[in-house]
Amino acid sequence: MANLQRPDGIAPHGGELINRIATPAEKADFLSKADSLPIVALDERAVSDLHMIAIGGFSPLTGFMNQADYDRVVVEMHLTSGLPWTIPITLSVTESVADTVEVGQYVRLNDPSGQYIGVLHLTEKYSYDKKKEAINVYRTEDEKHPGVAVVYNQGSINLAGPIWLLDREAHPLFPTYQIDPAASREAFKEKGWKTIVGFQTRNPVHRAHEYIQKCAMEIVDGLFLHPLVGATKEDDISAEIRMRCYEILIDNYYPKDRVILGINPSAMRYAGPREAVFHALIRKNYGCTHFIVGRDHAGVGDYYGTFDAQHIFDEFDAAAIGIIPLKYEHAFYCKVTNTMATIKTSPSTPEQRIHLSGTKVREMLRNGELPPPEFSRPLVAAELAKAMKVKS
């Protein structure tokens, strides 16, 4: 399947940028039926998925997956259309909730607070094998894995069908950084960028991130910093702190005309290799032509090999993926050359390298210690320490 190139940039996955935000007429119709529609309450992740489908971030999906697509994605990492897709996007409910809705109905979708935010046209209800999904998608059935835990705790019936989002409201925390796929594509076009590299993180930015971003910037027109602000693990650093760290970095250490900072509103799955491909396809929909894949992308614990997230791209036809993965070694500060480096560029031995795990950094911050400047920019480290002190 050939990649579709267009004069205004890379084509979305599947060739069309999906828009499932209700028109004024559709919204008025749905609101008029609000009291007569059966209700399904969404959790935080399902709300994120609803928004990502509606704005085109999950193109070509127009709704929650039917069984045919679900089965093929779980086992073969492709949709029934043949397009690569690695993560099931499903609306899972309990049997008791599933019994309240019938195929063919329109279903009112409420957020966790009870607000009416969307509509599902229910086309299918189906049961699924949770353990099979866990083993295939997450490569483990261990319930201690955060992604597996979500699967085991969610309902046993999936509701499928196209959706509508009633309103695309401003993000409550980051309204100025809410740049949806249509808007990011327009922003790239206005800047004259033909090649754009996307960067994903759920962690605070540090010098290794900065190094690989700037290496990538040498070969493209612009950098799209796109940190995830949807649901994450409880012990992850909050989105507010991570965004502030990026603001500091851009204000002080980046050429502002070559960087755009925007939020990725999707939820974290911690699916390692499969999620690396998923994240790349999302950035393709936002208009990126390249995507950075570093060490243990979207990993958690010891469930995945260090570079499994890079190797998985070799299992797909490159043209079908349609976005170029930039695969980087683990970066560190080299005491021999006094620069950031990787094993490809540094003559150092392991004891001559400075790299700290996220766990170690969090421990240092909780103890009132700042990570060394070789690991984190001092201004960023100070912001992290301040936030950690407040949290403690």
Summarised one tens digit per residue, pLDDT across range 325-338 is 999 998 999 999 99
Q: How much is the pTM?
A: 0.94
Diameter over CA atoms, the chain = 70
CA-based angle 11:219:373, to the nearest 5?
A: 120
Q: What is the mean pLDDT of the chain?
A: 93
Query: How confident is the model at residue 288, as a pLDDT?
Result: 98
Instruction: Assess whether pLDDT exceeds 70 at residue 109.
Output: yes
Cα dihedral 313, 314, 316, 317 in deg (nearest 10): 120
Query: Can you tell me the distance from the alpha carbon of 152 to that of 195, in angstroms, rounded to the nearest whole number?
Result: 40
- Token code pair at residue 285: 């929909």
Distances (CA, A) of 41 to 2, 38, 109, 168, 377: 39, 10, 6, 18, 43
Domain ranges of the chain: 5-165, 175-391
- Written as one letter, the residue type at 304 is Y
Distances (CA, A) of 271 to 225, 326, 377: 21, 19, 29
Omega cis (within 30) before 60:
yes
For 175-391, CATH number out of 1.10.1040.10, 3.10.180.10, 3.40.50.620, 3.10.450.350 equals 3.40.50.620
Non-local (6+) Cβ contacts of 337 within 8 A are: 346, 347, 348
pLDDT class of 3 with cuts at 50, 70, 90: very low
Query: Can you tell me the distance from the alpha carbon of 300 to that of 358, in angstroms, rounded to the nearest whole number?
Result: 11
Distances (CA, A) of 163 to 11, 60, 70, 151, 327: 23, 13, 17, 22, 35
HEC profile for the chain? CCCCEECCEECCCCCCCCCCECCHHHHHHHHHCCCCCCEEECCHHHHHHHHHHHHCCCCCCCEECCHHHHHHHHHHCECCCCCECCCCCCEEECHHHHCCCCCCCEEEEECCCCCEEEEEECCEEEECCHHHHHHHHHCCCCCCCHHHHHHHHCCCEEEEEEEEECCCCCCCCCHHHCCCHHHHHHHHHHHCCCCEEEECCCCCCCHHHHHHHHHHHCCCCEEEECCECCCCCCCCCCHHHHHHHHHHHHHHHCCHHHEEECCECCCCCCCCHHHHHHHHHHHHHCCCCEEEECCCCCCCCCCCCCCHHHHHHHHCCHHHHCCEEEECCCCEEECCCCEEECCCCCCCCHHHEECCCHHHHHHHHHCCCCCCCCCCCHHHHHHHHHHHHHHC
- Token code pair at residue 49: 């998925």
Superfamily of domain 5-165, CATH level 4: Sulfate adenylyltransferase (3.10.400.10)
Instruction: Assess whether pLDDT exceeds 70 at residue 372.
Output: yes
Q: What is the CA radius of gyration of the chain?
A: 21
Residue range 61-77: average pLDDT? Answer: 98
Q: Among the options 202, 207, 242, 274, which is catalytic?
A: 202
Non-local (6+) Cβ contacts of 115 within 8 A are: none
Tell me, yes or no, if 353 is annotated catalytic. no
pLDDT class of 138 with cuts at 50, 70, 90: very high
Among residues 273, 271, 265, which one has the least CA distance to residue 293?
A: 273
Bridge-based pairing of strands 290-293 and 259-261 is unpaired
Query: How confident is the model at residue 7, as a pLDDT?
Result: 47
- Do 100 and 38 contact (CB within 8 A), yes or no? yes
Query: How confident is the model at residue 386, as a pLDDT?
Result: 83
The pLDDT tens digits for 247-262 are: 999 999 999 999 999 9
Residue range 6-30: average pLDDT? Answer: 91
Residue with tokens 């009416």: 116
Tell me, yes or no, if 202 is annotated catalytic. yes
Instruction: Assess whether pLDDT exceeds 70 at residue 6.
Output: no
Q: Quick one: what percent of the chain has pLDDT higher than 70?
A: 96
Residue 204 burial (C-beta neighbours within 10 Å; 0-12, 13-18, 19+) = buried
pLDDT class of 1 with cuts at 50, 70, 90: very low
Q: Among the options 19, 45, 203, 258, which is catalytic?
A: 203
